[in-house]
Structure 1
Amino acid sequence: MNNSFSLPWSTDLWDHPSIKPYEEARDYPKDSVFRNEESMELERKEYEAIVTGPNKGDLSIVKGKELYEVNCYSCHGMTGLGDGPVIKNNLRQNSYFYPVNLKQQQTINRTDGYIYAYIRYGGKVMMPAYGRITPEEAWDIVYYLRYLQGMVK
């Protein structure tokens, strides 16, 4: 007896309550406590108060460029304009979120700490590199972004 059938609930799970790529994350349940070994060392507002982060000069630019090309390029593009291959090839047709132009004035006005915290811990939209980048690597990326923005010579 070789019968095969599909039950109505065994669809592709696309409508299942999950987070799709580039979809806004759901809020944490009310009164929940976040526990994680990689949780923030400081509060987000404390990070945002860090105007200039640590760097190793040219070494940070070189390392930051390598890390950017691996973790950020596909969405933000080579020059940080938010025009990477994910956008150029229309791979996100049904998405409401697009990568930030890292050279726009709003991003330039952010503190180094704000950008660091966004890279390390994400925001409303989680970036694919979230959780894979060490603190030192995140600071190198921040310094490289400042270089792209023309703020570091």
Structure 2
Amino acid sequence: MTAFASSVTLVLVGAAAGLVPTLVVDVLRNRRETRTRWDETLLTAASDLVEAARTLLHMSQRMREDRVDYADKLDEVHIQLRALVERVKFIGDDHVRTEAELVRRHAYAARLVGEGRPDPRGDEYADDPFVRLHRQLDGFAEAVRRQLQVAAGRGHR
């Protein structure tokens, strides 16, 4: 092998040795950036869902206790909550999706009871839907924290 050929070989080996770590770093950086984007999206959707559920819970309790008429606004909030559950289902893991579905289920029951109608799940649960929704919001928050790898919190109450 000539000196030129060995020099070219050394340059190519050096370039390959420099390229591999650069590619690995780029792939890892891309994964981290993608995860950060999805984590931010999940956090925003989950926060909005909890806010809508809390609003629906408050309005439903006021309707039941004080007979304040929130019917139109309650309908808007319920539609918003259902849409947010669907958004969370796109980006959440299996546990987050299950917990979000249960929030929707208990929110619906809370709405009906607030409107003076019977609890559609009354025979399945001992607690009223307001208590169930409170508890479910804690379960949902815990599932989101787990997916985001955030330390456990104290709940929503």
Q: TM-score, normalised by structure 2?
A: 0.26
- The structure carrying a bigger helix percent of its residues is 2
TM-score (ref. length: structure 1): 0.26
Which of structures 1 and 2 has the larger relative contact order (alpha carbons within 8 angstroms, sep 6+)? 1
Q: Which has the larger Rg?
A: 2
